[in-house]
Amino acid sequence: MVQVNAYASCVCPFPLGDSWQVIRDWGSFAWLPQLFGSRLNSALQSDGTADDCVVRRTTFGKACVYERLLVLDDLQHLMRWQIITGKADSQNPFPASLVNYVTAIQLLPVSVGNQTYLAWSGDFLTEAYMAVQMKAVFEAIGINLRSLYDAFSLQPHNG
């Protein structure tokens, strides 16, 4: 297994506060409506731990993954989560193993034009022979963050 670090970013033509309002909604995928050509659906669940962490069950097509929210920081405009393995109905939809997957989205203000810089990153382990392909898959997902534009056409704007 090898470590893969994927990264993508974009500038959204919306103010930071408006952008964060859409992204921070852990139960919604308004900012990433499709994955592999299938619509994403998510439902929040308790994970049954003493801390009762926030978990979402995400389905797309016939695949299902569970993701645990690790950080939701409104001051830093940062959200970090991980895929939970071992759930009975979870299914890896990717073309190779996905081990210790942790991803983050952070938004920063762009001072010129009152826009938002959005950075997405994902780190995980996978088979060495699949590392390049898996990195490309995840960077393509990150690039789809531009779907945020479409999400904003459906949201009220503050500015």
| Residue 27 belongs to domain with CATH number | 3.30.530.20
Tell me whether residue 159 is in a domain: no
Tell me whether residue 58 is in a domain: yes
Q: Which residue has the tokens 């945020």?
A: 148
> What is the per-residue pLDDT across 110-146, written as a single tens digit (0 to 9) for each?
988 889 998 989 898 888 888 888 788 777 766 666 6
Count up the domains in the chain and report the number.
1
Query: For residues 125 and 97, what is the distance between their CA atoms, to the nearest angstrom?
Result: 7
| pTM of the model as a whole | 0.76
Tell me whether residue 123 is in a domain: yes
Q: What Å distances lie between residue 6 and 9, 18, 140, 142, CA to CA?
A: 11, 26, 9, 8
Tell me whether residue 111 is in a domain: yes
> What is the per-residue pLDDT across 59-72, written as a single tens digit (0 to 9) for each?
667 777 788 889 99
Full domain range(s) for residue 127:
2-153
Most distant pair of Cα atoms in the chain: their distance: 48
